[in-house]
Chains A and B, each alone.
Chain A
Amino acid sequence: MSIDSMFVHKMWDDHELAKMVDGGVPFPMLSDAGGKVGKLFGVFNEGAGVENRGRFIIDPDGVIQGYEVLTPPVGRNVQETLRQVQAFQLVRKTKGAEATPSGWRPGKLTLKPGPDLVGNVWKEWKTSMAFD
């Protein structure tokens, strides 16, 4: 979503994005003329009159599980966003029985929160596991 019109979105997709992604961008490119939606989400940059790089993970109940907002010059880490979505999906699937410690990615150890884990995280989770 940006302040550009849907017509500009089409031009960008047709003339540049289709050269990077086969068939163009598959998902909706939304238009937020005037930044009304951006203001609602607290990402509208009043000074520049554009949206900051806001990214929101919204679960199937419509609840925001996480967000990240960067100023325009720095791009995002898509891999980290996917990791967070996968982690939130796992937590939801297990109804909170499993939690994903620092550095988790699919296949790595999860923790089962509960009285037995208190004071015992060190036995299961090593600091090296925070890094890839």
Chain B
Amino acid sequence: MAEELPVGCARPTGGPVGEPVEEIAKEATKLKKEEGQMIHVGEKAPDFVAPGYQKGKFISVKLSDYLGKWVLLCFYPGDFTFV
């Protein structure tokens, strides 16, 4: 499900999947006030890939790889804070 990442000195980043990234970035700054309205219950979650860490391994996770399973996606302000 999660693909293991080779460890290097560069810091990997992820981002949206399936749509032109620049378009979204532009849209996001342009419609800053409407950002919260981009997400609706009952609609598909936007797909993304993100690097991560799980049980001793650096991995890359794509949300759509989890189709067929329930997913709980949690955002939090930062490591070493509570959740």
In the complex the two chains form, what is the Cα distance from A19 to B16 in whole Å? 34
Q: Please name all residues of chain A whose beta carbon is closer than 8 Å to the beta carbon of B35 when the two chains form the complex.
A: 39, 42, 44
B79 and A8 within 8 A (CB) = yes
Q: Within 8 Å of chain B (Cβ to Cβ): is A98?
A: no
Number of residues from B at the complex interface, CB < 8 A: 56
B38 and A30 within 8 A (CB) = no
Binds B, one of A50-58, A99-107, A110-118, A119-127: A50-58
Number of residues from A at the complex interface, CB < 8 A: 63
Q: Within 8 Å of chain B (Cβ to Cβ): is A1?
A: yes
Q: A64 with B40: in contact, given A2-B78, A32-B50, A37-B14 (CB under 8 Å)?
A: yes
Which A residues between 70 and 114 are near B, CB-CB below 8 angstroms?
72, 75-76, 81, 85, 88-89
The chain A residues found within 8 Å of chain B, CB to CB, are 1-13, 16, 23-34, 36-46, 48, 50-67, 72, 75-76, 81, 85, 88-89
